[in-house]
Copies of this chain bind each other. A is one copy, B any other.
């Protein structure tokens, strides 16, 4: 069993309305020492695979095709083999 941890973020060039709103709200509420807000999505997938490389390949494909919109987003991930006890 492998566990994939996936981060999907907006490309830096894309203006993210969600991040903007959070930033503005923080400033308004007095948390004006916060200078940079990034809002991303985080996914965890548990999967079986023949080996680490196979798991990584599959996860990359799932990210590319489904979890991220490559027009506006980038993704990165890690895949780790899970301890048997889990």
Contact = CB atoms under 8 A, between A and B. Distances in A.
Report, nearest first, the 8 A-B pairs whose CB atoms are least far apart: A36-B46, A42-B42, A38-B44, A40-B42, A34-B47, A33-B48, A35-B46, A33-B47
A44 B33 CA distance: 14
Q: Please tell me how many copies of the chain the complex holds.
A: 2
A62 B2 CA distance: 33
A11 interface: no
A37 interface: yes
B62 A7 contact: no
Nearest to A54: B33
A44 B36 contact: yes
A60 interface: no
